[in-house]
Chains A and B, each alone.
Chain A
Amino acid sequence: MIQQYWLYLIYLLGSVFFIVGLKMLSGPKTARNGNFLAAAGMAIAILGTIFMHTNEDGEPIGNYGWIFGGIAIGTIIGWISAKKVKMTDMPQMVSLFNGMGGACAALISLVEFGHLHDDASPATVLTIVAGLVIGSVSFSGSIIAYAKLQEIMKKTFRLPAQNILTLVLLIATLGLTVYIALGHPSTTLVYTVFALSLAYGVLFVLPIGGADMPVVISLLNSFTGVAAAFGGFLYDNQVMLTGGILVGSAGTLLTILMCNAMNRSLTNVIFGSFGGGSAAAAGGGSATTGGAVKSSTPSDVAIMMNYAQKVIIVPGYGLAVAQAQHVIHELEALLEQRGVEVKYAIHPVAGRMPGHMNVLLAESNVAYDKLVEMEEINDQFSTTDVVFVVGANDVVNPAARSNPASPIYGMPILNADKAKTVIVSKRSMAAGYAGIDNELFYYPNCMMLFGDAKDSITKVVAELKGMD
């Protein structure tokens, strides 16, 4: 018994480590230690379980060979893949690991279902099946998200009557779950629910694409948290419950914060018809903004920046795609040497995930204090000589401020258009993610620098170096 109480104490400590770790993760100075702390909490919870856990019959944990073997395999694969992944591929890696957690929860439920006694209460059965459903949705959804971000799966599919089909599938899954819990615990039915949940996860993520992916990953992340919490209920295990619910609620809040930053509602992201609905609006938009754009050359850009007092760089998804984060830092360093003040304006949803741009730029040694968030920097654009927009589009579209008919109206944007000169590095005049024209490109103070971002910036850097 006393051993049981020691384990409770360890679980309590583990839970506190999770909470404090999560808190520390939300500040730049403490974040890394917070991650260590949470990992330490996890380690003691795992070791405590292996060596001190007993089930309700008082039996200790057995099968050490299997357990340590599994942990060893998982550690090696997890460690190597986490160390090897490129910073630009980070989002899909998170999604993949999330899917693993979901699958883990689903497998636990499958095994526990096999262990059920005939007199099991509906609540126990429901806990098991709910863990199975949520874990499976999280697993198959995360794998699809991974495939999309890794560009294994390039297109966004939208089946005919997608929303209705998804809804029917959801109702069937939930209905069957309740049916099983209310006294029909047959193995066939459980495997049917398993299959339905996997299919639901696939259908749920398939039609979602582009900039909405991070929102989906964050949502699936909180799903896995909830699945873990069901495990906590099943085993009366406090640390699983606290850990799972913490992630469930924090993940949900994070999902909502991400949606807010894009001025979209969660339902819009999930059931939305952004692509379809905005096509008409885009047509209308381009009619009013149509006109000539000015294009510029690397040497013009180099000269303008060289004689500027202050330059703000607006990095976007395109910068990550072109892998231009290192060369942009070179440009920034070069300008700073010449006495030009350089800042980066980071839109909350810049990159593939909120904060992803910061990670990418930090990777190429850009100082943390050079990255300025939207609210802080928006007043500074009017006193800026040159704004250099690299691979960003919708986040600098003034239509979000001024045109109520635009599908992105109301989305917070960077006021890049207020600067004296705006230079936009872009491959072509193609529309951004939202599929709408950007009137900024037609403004008199705006110039386009066409070409691959990395190429263009390399040329600008070369021009700057040649100006000595």
Chain B
Amino acid sequence: MDAIITFIGENIQLIYILILSIFVGIEVISKVPSALHTPLMSGANAIHGVVIIGAIIVMGHAEAGNWPALILGFLAVILGTLNVVGGFVVTDRMLEMFKKKK
């Protein structure tokens, strides 16, 4: 029990961010028209590509001779970038089409 309370106490700011972000996430998309569900999902998909930052940190602190860390980290950077770049570009392509009017 103490361990849990300690964990919460030490990370209280992050936990506040966590709770508030949950509400913000729900609030910002609650009025989305169903026509935009797919682009929205795709845009959200790109945003969770923020995990790339973890990959950069892992890669950036991998020791020179530690090949498993270097290779896994390198792969993580590639995959994370794929998620970010592919996600935003695909979303833009979808949204671009909504703009075209005769």
Contacts and interface: CB of A to CB of B under 8 A. Distances in A.
Nearest to A93: B90
B44 A107 contact: no
A254 B29 contact: yes
B8 to A, nearest CB: 9
A35 B6 CA distance: 39
A394 B47 CA distance: 34
Interface in B22-55: 22-26, 28-55
Contacts of B60: 50, 53, 60-63, 67
A359 B28 contact: no
Interface in B63-102: 66, 68-70, 72-102
A18 B95 CA distance: 17
Contacts of B29: 22-23, 25-26, 250, 253-254
Nearest to A225: B48
A116 interface: no
User: Which range contains the number of B residues in contact with the other chain?
Assistant: 35 or more
Contacts of A368: 98, 101
Contacts, number: 388
Interface stretch (A236-244, A381-389, A431-439, A457-465): A236-244
Contacts of B58: 107-108, 111-112
Interface string A82-108: 110101001101101110110111011
A50 B51 contact: no
Given A25-B39, A247-B25, A363 B97 contact: yes
Nearest to A354: B37
Give the size category of A's interface with B.
35 or more
A69 interface: yes
B25 A50 contact: no
A85 B11 contact: no
Contact of B86 (A31, A100, A356): A100
A461 B40 CA distance: 34
B88 A35 contact: yes
Given A32-B92, A107-B75, A237-B54, A42 B97 contact: no
Contacts of A63: 59-60, 62, 70, 73
Contacts of B79: 74, 100-101, 103-104, 107
A96 to B, nearest CB: 8
B97 A355 contact: no
B51 A66 contact: no
B97 to A, nearest CB: 4
Contacts of A356: 38
Contact of B48 (A36, A101, A365, A367): A101
Contact of B44 (A123, A135, A254, A358): A254
B85 A75 contact: yes
A71 interface: yes
A228 B51 contact: yes
A238 B82 CA distance: 22
Most chain B CB neighbours (cut-off 10 Å) among A85, A101, A224, A356? A101
B97 A98 contact: no
A119 interface: no
A77 B82 contact: yes
Contacts of A83: 89, 93
Interface string A386-424: 000000000000000000000000000000000000000
B48 A243 contact: yes
A233 B11 contact: yes
Contacts of B38: 90-91, 94, 353-356, 358-359
Given A31-B36, A63-B60, A70-B78, A240 B90 contact: no
Given A19-B28, A31-B98, 7 more contacts: A67-B77, A70-B81, A73-B81, A75-B81, A97-B49, A257-B32, A257-B34
Interface of B: 3, 7, 11, 14, 17-18, 21-26, 28-62, 66, 68-70, 72-102
